[in-house]
Structure 1
C-alpha cells in the first residue's frame, strides 16, 4: 500500500465522513485527508483551485444538491475515484467517471482495505492506460455487482413456502432467532442472522435500524424525534418493542426515507 496517500472525501453526511476517515487512518496512519467536501458546489469550487494536491478521491454519489457525477462534468479530474454509496444502480456511470471501485454502504474496515489494495494494484500497473482500466473494471463489474434477494424459501408448518422479500415488513431478532414479520401479522423463522440479511436485502428498500431490527421502507408509518438525537420509528404491524435509530444513523435513515 502506498505509504503517503493524500485523499479527498466527498460526503454530505458528517458522521459517515468521520467514520471513513477513522477507518482509513486505522488502516494506514500515514494517510492524509486533504479535504472533506459536503456538496457539488463546494467540490467544484475546491477542485478548480486544488487539482494536484491529492492522489485519490472517496466520493458518495447522492449528495444533498444532486449526483456527484456533476462534479466531474464541471471540472476535469484525472485522479482515480472510489465511489462509496448505498445504491448499486450507478455502477456503470461511476466507472466512466474515473471510478476504480464501488463500495456499498454500510462499509467496514475490511472493505475499505480491500479497495485501497485494488487502488495500489491498478495504479501501479502503468502498462494499462485509462481506457484499458475502464474496460477491465466494467468486465469485473459483471461479477462484483451485488445481487439482492428477491424471495426466501421458508420452512413453515412442515412445508417450504416462497415469500416475496419486498412483502416482509420487518425482521427482528430475539434469543438468537430471526423472525420475518408480514403485514397480516404472520411471522416466519428465518435461517439467517440479521448481519447476513443486511447484505442480502436491497438497501433502497430495507434499513438496519439497530441491532434488533431491519425494516421495510413501505412499513414505516411515522418517525418521531426521541431523546438524545435518536429517532423513534413507528411501523406496521406494530412490534412489542420500540424501534430506535441512533443519533449516528439518524441522518442516513432520514435520507433513506426521502428518496
Structure 2
C-alpha cells in the first residue's frame, strides 16, 4: 500500500508516520503545503491512500485537487468542528480529529483495507465540502448536564462549567464553585455536544471553557499551560500538536 501524508505541521506529520509504522503501514512521502503537494501530484504516481490535513500553511488542501483529478482514497485529519464532518463522511474513507488517537487511526486503516476496491470509485466533491466549511449549519449544543448525587439528580448549566476532564476512566465537570461532578459520558462524546466557540479540547484529558481562562503561560516542549479561575487539582497543558489550533481558537 502506497501512503502519503499531507500535513503542514511537521511534528504532527512525523507523529502520524510513527503511529502508522506501528501498524506496518509505511509512508512513502510527506508533503507540507498546497504548492508542494500540487507539484508532487503533477510529477508522481498517485498513492493508494492520502492522510489529508484540511488547513495547510498556504491555503485549504482542497486547492490541490482543483486542477488535479484525485486517484487516491482519502482519510481526513482535521481539527474542524463536527458540522463539517458530515461532508467528510460522504466524501472520504474516514476522518480523524486531532490530536489523532491510535485506536481511531487503526479503525480508519482497517476500514480502508475493507473498502479499498469501492473507495477507488468514490467521487470526491470538494466544492460541496468547501461550501460547508464556509457556511456552517447552525446547530444546537448541550445547555446542561445531569449527575446523580445520592438519590438526587442535579442539573449543571453549561455556563457554570470551567472544564471537563478525565480521570480513572471517569469524565468529570469542574464548576465555578470549585466542585467536581462525575458525568455519564466521555470526552469523545463531548466533541459533538459542546460548542466549539466556547470549549476546546487542549489534550486527551481536558476540555476548557474560554470564558474561564485566567492565564496562559509558555511551557516546556513548545506547549502552553492554562490557568483557570478555580480548577487547581492538576496542571492543564495544551498538547504540543494542539497549540497552533488553540491559538487560532482564541482569536
Q: Does 1:49 align with 2:39?
A: no
| Residue aligning to 2:246 | 256
TM-score normalized by structure 1? 0.72
Distance 2:202 2:140 in 1: 15
Q: Give 3-state SS (helix, strand or coil) of 2:8's partner.
A: coil
Segments of 5+ residues of structure 1 without an aligned counterpart are 135-146
Residues 222-237 of structure 1 correspond to what in structure 2 (within 5 A)?
222-237=215-230
Residues 61-80 of structure 1 correspond to what in structure 2 (within 5 A)?
61-80=54-73
Q: Of the candidates 83, 86, 92, which is equivalent to residue 89 of structure 1?
A: 83
Residues 1-259 of structure 1 correspond to what in structure 2 (within 5 A)?
5-28=1-24, 31-50=25-44, 52-87=45-80, 88-94=82-88, 99-125=92-118, 129-130=121-122, 150=142, 151-156=144-149, 158-165=151-158, 167-172=160-165, 179-183=172-176, 185-192=177-184, 197-202=186-191, 204=196, 205-209=199-203, 211=205, 213-239=206-232, 241-245=234-238, 249-259=239-249
The alpha-carbon distance between structure 1 residues 256 and 123, as it changes in their structure 2 partners (threshold 3 A), is: same
Distance 1:62 1:100 in 2: 19
Aligned length: 229
The alpha-carbon distance between structure 1 residues 40 and 125, as it changes in their structure 2 partners (threshold 3 A), is: closer
Q: Give 3-state SS (helix, strand or coil) of 2:72's partner.
A: coil
* 1:86, distance to aligned residue in structure 2 (A): 2.6
* 1:59, distance to aligned residue in structure 2 (A): 0.7
**CA offsets 1:164-190 (integer angstroms, 9 cap, x no match):** 44641113567887542223x242421
Distance 2:217 2:16 in 1: 28
Segments of 5+ residues of structure 2 without an aligned counterpart are 126-138
**CA offsets 1:38-92 (integer angstroms, 9 cap, x no match):** 2222222222222x15211001212333322222224322211111223333234
Distance 2:58 2:74 in 1: 19
Are the counterparts in 2 of residues 198 and 208 from structure 1 also a CA contact under 8 Å?
no
Distance 1:60 1:125 in 2: 22
